[in-house]
């Protein structure tokens, strides 16, 4: 069986991978071919072509095309949670309920177009959508080689609606224990702080992580950003993961943090010269992320870790 995996559902870092009878034959990121960092809003055309040519596989030989973004049913909690938490932006809330798979449909259309460009027969070759966090979990677990029961952690900004995944793998099968949904996203909060600290979201998070050791993580209390009782998280959307009229805007640009964040912490950092108090903000954010992540890991994966000591993790925040 030959499977071509394509990514880029969330508008950044598109890539392609080719599996032949369960073995990795080729993998590549689009940015390497077009020389554009993160290849934003691009499709993995060149990377997919490279994989096929490197492995000597014809487009007609592809059995399945997999994509890490799937439709979410109305009866699931994902879309309802989003609508409830974003009640203050009724257009977004109602859209989540009545048109909640619009991003999936747009992605599916673009992938089918890409398949045609690659010479893959869309009528003969099935398009297989995979939930984003399940794809993250699989990328870590199925390549780990672990045979014992294995804890699986996935944390990123968000996929379709899920932002955090706790589960386990056993006998090659992934089981879900718990998920959290947008806007309750650790990655979203970290990304919002990335913007506030003067970097680009979905690119500069590693710079925030690099700033953190230079600051004092106990100088400010950042707990108001995310309430955590050890079992659940709730982000303060007045401050971060903000949409609509609550967003802070500057020079016509809307940011992922709120006006109240600037009232609380001061003006957004600009340039590279001003470090105080911003290095301390980076340190406080890093500490908050680690403390909450470890609390949740203990709650949902602690028993498995004490039993086998095996864990796999994936997603930008987990990294």
Q: CA angle at residue 319 from 157 to 195, to 5 degrees?
A: 45
The answer to whether the CB of 212 falls within 8 A of the CB of 197 is no
Residue 27 CA to residue 5 CA, distance in Å, equals 9
pLDDT in tens, 113-169: 999 999 999 999 999 999 999 999 999 999 999 999 999 999 999 999 999 999 999
Please check whether residue 6 is in contact with residue 19, taking contact to mean a CB–CB distance below 8 angstroms: no
Residue-wise pLDDT for 193-247, tens only, equals 999 999 999 899 999 999 999 999 999 999 999 999 999 999 999 999 999 999 9
User: Hey, what are 112's tokens?
Assistant: 């089918």
| pLDDT the model gives residue 10 | 84
- Catalytic one of 12, 46, 81, 133: 12
- Predicted pLDDT of residue 220: 97
Q: Give the torsion sign (CA, 104, 258, 154, 38).
A: positive
Contact of 312 with 144, CB cutoff 8 Å: yes
- Give the global pTM: 0.93
Strand-pairing partners, residue 312, are 152
Q: In this predicted model, what pLDDT tens digit does every residue of 253-301 receive, in sequence order?
A: 999 999 999 999 999 999 887 789 999 999 999 999 999 999 999 999 9
Beta strand 253-258 with 247-250 is: antiparallel
Whether 133 is catalytic is no
| Residue 81, CB-side half-sphere exposure with 13 Å CA sphere | 19
pLDDT single digits (tens) 15-49: 999 999 989 999 999 999 999 999 999 999 999 99
**Token pair in block for residue 124:** 């003969």
Alpha-carbon span 254 to 232, nearest angstrom: 28
């Amino acid at each position: 069986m030959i499977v071509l995996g394509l990514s880029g559902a969330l508008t950044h870092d598109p890539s392609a991978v080719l599996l032949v009878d369960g073995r990795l034959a080729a993998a590549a990121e689009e940015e390497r071919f077009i020389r554009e960092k993160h290849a934003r809003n691009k499709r993995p055309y060149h990377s997919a072509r490279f994989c096929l040519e490197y492995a000597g596989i014809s487009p007609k030989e592809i059995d399945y095309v997999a994509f890490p973004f799937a439709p979410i049913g109305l009866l699931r909690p994902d879309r309802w949670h989003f609508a409830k938490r974003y009640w203050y932006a009724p257009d977004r809330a109602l859209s989540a309920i009545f048109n909640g798979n619009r991003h999936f449909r747009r992605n599916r259309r673009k992938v089918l177009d890409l398949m045609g460009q690659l010479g893959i027969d869309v009528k003969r070759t099935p398009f297989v959508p995979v939930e984003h966090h399940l794809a993250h979990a699989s990328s870590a677990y199925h390549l780990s080689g672990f045979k014992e029961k294995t804890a699986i952690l996935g944390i990123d900004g968000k996929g379709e609606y899920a932002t955090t995944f706790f589960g386990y793998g056993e006998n090659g099968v992934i089981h879900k224990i718990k998920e959290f949904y947008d806007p309750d996203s650790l990655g979203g909060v970290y990304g919002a702080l990335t913007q506030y600290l003067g970097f680009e979201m979905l690119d500069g998070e590693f710079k925030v992580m690099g700033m953190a050791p230079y600051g004092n993580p106990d100088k400010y209390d950042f707990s108001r950003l995310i309430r955590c009782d050890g079992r659940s998280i709730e982000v303060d959307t007045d401050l971060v993961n903000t949409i609509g009229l609550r967003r802070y805007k500057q020079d016509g640009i809307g940011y992922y943090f709120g006006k109240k964040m600037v009232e609380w912490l001061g003006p957004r950092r600009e340039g590279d010269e001003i470090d105080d108090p911003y290095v301390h903000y980076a340190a406080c954010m890093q500490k908050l992320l680690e403390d909450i992540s470890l609390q949740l890991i203990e709650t949902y994966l602690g028993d498995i870790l004490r039993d086998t000591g095996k864990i796999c993790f994936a997603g930008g925040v987990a990294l």
